[in-house]
Structure 1
């Protein structure tokens, strides 16, 4: 029989989780009440807030009932992975919602939208605080996802998801070079997700090679692949021989194909730097299993 653990809620981590759940709940409640969330962008924002709220409530429920041993995931890796993902999801909603909905809103819908954006930002900060409180400290025995390379894996996968959205809008079927870039994004995304799943599910022993060696080899491979995409994508998108060389060809549209191509180039550079940092940390990390 599970024994209650109120101390889990009274700790700094518990306060951060409770605050994050409340802020996310208020954010999606305000938007749903106003009805100002149509389209894919609005649907994503509401999904992000609802997912974060439900996931955090489940984590709090497990902590309060002391049922960590009965959950089929590593409790050293699961909650911090969810917190890192939730912080990125709320951050994206905090940017997307005002960008797509507040500019054309007015009256009550605008006020609700502003309030929802504020609470979304607060939820982002609360999840960031949880990650800061639960991440690994020097010399501490913990799970891989609580280390810097583990948290970087969450950033890499989320950035890749955003990349896929912009790649679809930018177009990639005209040239083999752009298809190569898409293959790079897919390969690295799949491998990063696999690392997260293996860590959260405590299945790293299934690998035919030591986990730390696999991480180092994968980080090096990802850096090389993203370095190639960092060069190839701009050539086939911005060179006059292959694609648009300036935004002047967008005919004054607020968002056009050229904007998506620039976004992909920027996100490729960002993820390259993240993978480079991952490689540096992975080469220095001494991972100790409890």
Structure 2
């Protein structure tokens, strides 16, 4: 059966830059949405900073998230107000929606992690009230960023950049989940005791690097440098990642939770989990979280493979 290769990256301006280069950009729906993002992230980190309520790794992550999102959103607003998208070092068709997707995921993680691993251990008082308010504004920011993604993503038949398509957004999600996995396996004792577990860590790293390279190539508009067609590269990458993650989904739970392979099937068997440690997650919970996230990322790569295959094999 004959096949053809369809285009994936198309050179037109995105809907996010219809009205730029003047204060009118702030009165457009997308401009107002970004002002809301800027306000919520600014209020979130200001509330936490005013009472120094971000000690510990989870608190530091939340503080970094709000400061980072505030700074990049401010840069995007300045670029659009000045109308200098063409001078921006990255593709403006792909950068804003890529960032908005990451920011939505970052704020979502902070809105969940910060109250569950930090706020609940705080005593009642001014600091706790500020932390709860910061969590609320973080949740609103998450909704605002998610709304921007839904607003600017590619519609069927619409010409836009690759990162605005479903496979492009899936790449963002895959790299984000991999980053969360890396945070949970930051302690080498979680995986160094068995070669199979080290293979799982290698899988997470390899797939993350390949997905990140794909994103960077689209942001830099250098997909034409590949020795093979870009859609073929995407399909091969997704297929390889599915195979790798499928092996990790089998090996990680097997060697972490099976007594036959020196694992701990019950949480009570982990001495570290018998005590509540403020601002920390015990080893057994980390292993369980990695197992769940491995399954989530496998589903994401399967969906990515299905969408990428359509870019290569089109019935004539």
So what's the TM-score if we normalise by structure 1? 0.95
Structure 1 runs not aligned, ≥5 long: none
2:202 aligns with 183
Give how far 1:93 is off: 0.9
Residue 221 of structure 2 aligns to a residue in which SS? coil
Would the aligned equivalents of 2:249 and 2:291 in 1 still touch at CA under 8 Å?
yes
Task: Show the counterpart of 2:11.
Answer: none
Post-superposition CA distance 1:246-269 (Å, at most 9, x none): 112124233421111111100000
Within-5 A mapping of 1:108-187 = 108-169=126-187, 171-187=190-206
CA deviation profile, 1:58-79 (whole Å, cap 9, x unmatched): 0011111100011111100001
Whether the aligned pair in 1 keeps the contact of 2:42 and 2:67 (CA below 8 Å) is: yes
SS of aligned partner of 2:136: helix
Structure 2 residue 291 is the aligned partner of structure 1 residue 265 = yes
Aligned residue pairs, count: 284
- RCO comparison, higher one (Cα < 8 Å, 6+): 2
Which residue in the other structure is 1:200 paired with? 219
For residues 216-242 of structure 1, the C-alpha deviation after alignment (integer angstroms, 9 at most, x for no partner) is 110011011100100011111111022
When the two chains are superposed, the root-mean-square deviation of aligned CA atoms in Å is 1.3
Deviations 1:158-216 (A, max 9, x none): 10011011123461111110011011000000000000000011010111111111001
Q: Distance in 2 between matches of 1:39 and 1:256?
A: 14
Superposed CA offset, 1:80-109 (max 9, x none): 111011111111111111112211222111
Corresponding residue to 1:89 among 100, 106, 117 = 106
Matched, 1:256 2:275: no
Q: How does 1:218-237 map onto structure 2 within 5 Å?
A: 218-237=237-256
Equivalent residues in 2 for 1:71-86, closer than 5 Å: 71-86=88-103
1:15 maps onto 2:37 in alignment: no
Q: Is the 8 A contact 2:58 2:118 kept in 1?
A: no
Secondary structure at 1:36 match in 2: coil
Matched residue, 1:35: 52
Distance 2:170 2:25 in 1: 26
Per-residue deviation at 1:9?
A: 1.9
1:283 Cα offset (Å):
1.7
| TM-score of the superposed pair, with normalisation by structure 2 | 0.87
1:285 offset after TM fit, Å? 4.1
C-alpha separation between the residues in 2 aligned to 1:282 and 1:183? 24
Measure the CA separation in 2 of the matches of 1:58 and 1:122: 20
1:35 shift after superposition? 1.1
Do the aligned residues in 1 keep the contact of 2:21 with 2:84 (CA within 8 Å)? no
- Residue 60 in structure 1 maps to residue 80 in structure 2: no
Structure 2 gaps of 5+ residues are: 1-19
**In structure 2, distance between residues paired with 1:98 and 1:118:** 10
Which whole-Å CA distance do the structure 2 matches of 1:8 and 1:130 have between them?
15
Q: Is the 8 A contact 2:25 2:81 kept in 1?
A: yes
